[in-house]
Structure 1
Amino acid sequence: MEQSNGPIIEPLRAASADPSFVPGITGAAPAEPEEPAGEPAPVVEDAPGTADDERPAPAAEPGEEPADGPVFEAADRRGRIVADAEGVRLSYDEEACEFRWDELAAVESEKGRFGKRFTVTVHTPDRRWYPIEIIAPDRGRVTAWESELDAVLDAYFDETA
């Protein structure tokens, strides 16, 4: 008969093992619907000399108007933060989450003491927090990001909610 001298460890049921455990994280996008068998898919040809980056952005949806207020956007090679009239969107590698302004309890930012790191932490009313760290191209950009984020928070975030 074997006897264990160590502690009994329960199986881990948290975000580290199951990403769907975290509220606010969106799931994988559904697959594109297949075209009917009788109709071939339309072919879109590239114009010579144009790259994907040079094409104009698609027009907004008919009922969707761009926001006139301030917009904050910061990104590096792995992460991205966008705050605008709709709310705050965070993405890091393949994970992404979205928060409307009425879903937030607080948004705090912090710049690294010696480097180019800029951290934004989104707090929800149910005492959860979602930090994301972005590495700026230079130290001056971190200061600009702080002022841009403050302008967006002043415009859209209602602290009395």
Structure 2
Amino acid sequence: MEQRIGSSSQPLEGAGFDPAFIPGLTSPASARTEEDGPEKEPEVADVEEAEAAEEAAAAPEEAAEAEAAEASPSEQEEDTETDGPVFEASDRRARMVADHRGVRLSLDDQDCEFRWDEIGAVETETARFGKRYTVTVHTPDRRWYPIEIEAPARSHFKEWDEQLDAVLDAYFETEAETETEAQTQTEAEADAD
């Protein structure tokens, strides 16, 4: 008499045990039998073609990385060239930076960046009680993006307002300033004719 060691039950199959199992579409991997035979070994030519395709796909990625590396130094140079005012405030979760490039907000792992031409208004608000400083960036398409930063002390609010006002005065162009500049240019062109 022959005895088998181990379980005599077959493994269960179906959607209850394999979330990828779809009856009628695919056969489950565990249902292969010896009759199906081993999978065919790919021929040498097929392997070489696959490797060539992988290398061709990797080439554009390497070119993009090289372009990004070249672009990074120019951006760094641009940052060092501008000596204008910069506003930066942060706490353990939130961070805000306003400089010549625009306004950048980040909260935990989420980031957003606004160029100065994308900003309609910047609003600040301080909590009546507590140490929360709220900055809201409004865009021309009626969307707003608030961020709350917890200050180390309430005395920082005045300092932060002054720094942010200096940055906004230096880089943010309001519609009135744009209209005034347009009128000045129009008058100058009329005088030149």
Alpha-carbon deviation of 1:114? 2.0
Alpha-carbon deviation of 1:111? 1.1
* Structure with more strand by fraction: 1
Which of residues 53, 62, 73 in structure 2 aligns to 1:61?
73
| 2:119 is the counterpart of 1:107 | no
CA distance in 1 between partners of 2:166 and 2:127 (Å): 20
Task: List, as ranges, runs of 4+ consecutive aligned residues in structure 1 with deviation greater than 3 Å.
Answer: none
Summarize deviations over 1:3-28 as a string: whole Å, max 9, x none: xxxxxxxxxxxxxxxxxxxxxxxxxx
What is the aligned length?
Answer: 104
1:78 is aligned to 93
Q: Please state whether the residue corresponding to 2:73 is helix, strand or coil.
A: coil
Q: Please state whether the residue corresponding to 1:139 is helix, strand or coil.
A: coil
Write the mapping of 1:29-68 to structure 2, written as runs, cut at 5 A: 61-62=73-74, 64-65=77-78, 66=80, 67-68=82-83
Alpha-carbon deviation of 1:119? 0.3
Q: Please state whether the residue corresponding to 2:134 is helix, strand or coil.
A: strand
2:38 is aligned to none
TM-score norm. by structure 1 comes to 0.61
Which of residues 145, 148, 151 in structure 2 aligns to 1:136?
151
Which protein is bigger by CA-based radius of gyration?
2
2:162 is aligned to 147
Summarize deviations over 1:88-137 as a string: whole Å, max 9, x none: 00000010000000001100111111221100000001100000000000
Q: Please state whether the residue corresponding to 1:81 is helix, strand or coil.
A: strand
1:90 is aligned to 105
- The verdict on how the C-alpha distance between 1:62 and 1:123 changes in structure 2, with shifts beyond 3 A counting, is closer
2:132 is aligned to 117
Q: Which amino acid aligns with 1:100?
A: R
Q: Please state whether the residue corresponding to 1:102 is helix, strand or coil.
A: helix
Name stretches of at least 5 consecutive residues in structure 1 with no aligned partner.
1-32, 35-59
* Structure with more helix by fraction: 2
Name stretches of at least 5 consecutive residues in structure 2 with no aligned partner.
1-60, 63-71, 179-193
CA distance in 2 between partners of 1:117 and 1:143 (Å): 13
Alpha-carbon deviation of 1:61? 1.7
Summarize deviations over 1:23-51 as a string: whole Å, max 9, x none: xxxxxxxxxx79xxxxxxxxxxxxxxxxx
- The verdict on how the C-alpha distance between 1:148 and 1:78 changes in structure 2, with shifts beyond 3 A counting, is same
Higher relative contact order by CA 8 Å / sep ≥ 6: 1 or 2? 1
CA distance in 1 between partners of 2:150 and 2:169 (Å): 24
